[in-house]
Amino acid sequence: MKIALIGYGKMGKMIEEVALDRSHLISSIIDSENWHISQLEDCDIAIDFSVPNAAVENIYKCINNNVPVVVGTTGWYESWENVKNEVILKNGSILTATNFSIGVNIFFEINKKLASLMNNQTSYSSMVQETHHTEKIDSPSGTAISIAEQMIQNIDRYKNWKESNNVDSQTLKIIAKREKDVPGTHHVVYKNDIDEISIEHKAISRKGFALGAVIAAEFLIDKKGVFNMNDVLKF
């Protein structure tokens, strides 16, 4: 599999290492927002870990040139419906995830189950806290938003989320922290006057994200349509 890497920061470099370990080739490294479609000519698939304000244009370039694309960049999902419709219209291939770590995707399933169990436990207040490295641009993280949206889908009293310490009873609180050299930690807490229930996923390194992205590319390479990590992991 010949891979075009779009974005060559810490994640891009880790994906390159994992891909080479799995006997794939890196056919192109794209590390500029203003790149030319000729850089996709010799690739089978693209993996995008770029920046939020470039992600949508990167996706369109791939789809318009019949290149399947795996997208790990977050912070652009307000454009998701337009992107999805374009992929379907062009009979393209895309796989997106707010987090490619297999461990995080298992955490998502635990989070949904716990939220459903807590639906009728109205004495508990809830919150999501995420901590990432200081270079992360979007806040809260895409993963934290996914976690919050899963909770909202399963707990009737929550209607929306907000990144704030001050929220009303219908709003799920998200706290985002930025600290040096933290790959990513996500923490869900339910608390009342009697006790506290919490679940946490803590990334030790970026390798788990990179491995998941490469596995996702291996899954997508011969498919058409719109996919996510649930399709890859068969949850």
Task: Summarize the confidence of residues 212-233 as an average pLDDT.
Answer: 96
Shared domain for 108 and 193, answered yes or no, is yes
Closest by CA position to 55, among listed 6, 120, 117: 6
Structure tokens at 217: 């590319």
Residue 186 belongs to domain spanning:
102-202
Q: Looking at the structure, tell me whether residues 112 and 76 fall in a common domain.
A: no
Are residue 89 and residue 173 in the same domain, yes or no? no
| Per annotation, catalytic residue among 132, 173, 186, 201 | 132
Mean pLDDT calculated for residue range 94-110: 94
CATH number for the domain that contains residue 152: 3.30.360.10
Least confident residue range of 30-34, 155-159, 172-176, 184-188: 30-34
The H-or-E segment that residue 48 falls in is strand 45-48
The residue from 136, 173, 186, 201 that is catalytic is: 136
Predicted pLDDT at 77: 92
Per the CB < 8 A criterion, the answer to whether 160 and 102 are in contact is no
Longest dimension (CA), the chain: 62
The CATH number of whichever domain residue 88 belongs to comes to 3.40.50.720
Asked whether the predicted pLDDT for residue 72 surpasses 90, the reply is yes
Residues 128 and 214 in one domain: no
Whether residue 144 is found in the same domain as residue 54: no
Q: Residue 46, Cβ neighbours under 10 Å: how many?
A: 27
Active site residue 24: no
Same domain, 152 and 192: yes
One domain, residues 174 and 133: yes
- 106 & 197 share domain: yes
Residues 93, 6 within the same domain: yes
Q: Decide if pLDDT at 136 tops 90.
A: no
Confidence of residue 68 (pLDDT cuts 50, 70, 90): very high
Is 107 in the same domain as 148?
Answer: yes
Considering the domain architecture, whether residues 127 and 194 belong to the same structural domain is answered as yes
pLDDT in tens, 3-14: 999 999 989 999
Determine the average pLDDT of the residues in 172-194: 95
pTM of the entire structure?
A: 0.82
Confidence at residue 32, expressed as pLDDT on a 0 to 100 scale: 86
Are 77 and 157 in a shared domain?
Answer: no
Q: Which residues, at least 6 apart from 133, have a Cβ–Cβ distance to it below 8 Å?
A: 178, 179, 180, 181, 182, 183
More confident residue, 142 or 150: 150
Q: Is 136 a catalytic residue?
A: yes
Q: Tell me which of 154 and 181 has the higher pLDDT.
A: 154
Domain tally, the chain: 2
pLDDT at 135 over 90: no
pLDDT at 112: 97
